[in-house]
Amino acid sequence: MAKVAFLLASDFEDSEMKNPYEEIKKAGHETVIIGNARGVVCKGKKNTVSYQTELAAGEADANDFAAVIIPGGSAPEELRVNQDTVDFVKGLYNKSKVIAGICHGPQVMISADILNGKEITCYKGIRDDVINSGAKYLDEEVVVSQNIITSRTPNDEPAFIREILAKLN
């Protein structure tokens, strides 16, 4: 089974963390919650769930993981300004590991400079940022472009989870 990182900071979109996290675990994969710092309690923006980071991005080794999942909400904005977090995502990308982001999750990918030439979807509010990063924006529930998986909103979670599990298996 694969070892899967979840990048998290407070004010994430609750279901975009909870549902993929539970489905990945249910499928038998190992999950590790990574943030800008270790031991931080991250609360969802709707306050229905909270998780504690198990590792700081600077402590995480991209060689140890098969994938990283980046939930949306406001959390990606906080994550993308931490160079260790950006470097972790770029390290996974450089090893052709799975990078999955939903809603605002692609903001971290933009900062890691890994979207040029890819087809990407996201929350429409960051569509121009994705395009300006060199990606082709598609308004679809899920887009798989090589090792990058993206979705738009909580409504797209079933397709997002399905494609992540397909890549992991």
Q: Which residues are catalytic?
A: 103
Sign of the alpha-carbon dihedral angle for 129, 130, 136, 142: negative
The CA distance from 162 to 156, in Å, is 10
123 touches 151 (CB < 8 A): no
Token digits of residue 151: 């979705």
Pairing state between β 98-102 and 67-70:
parallel
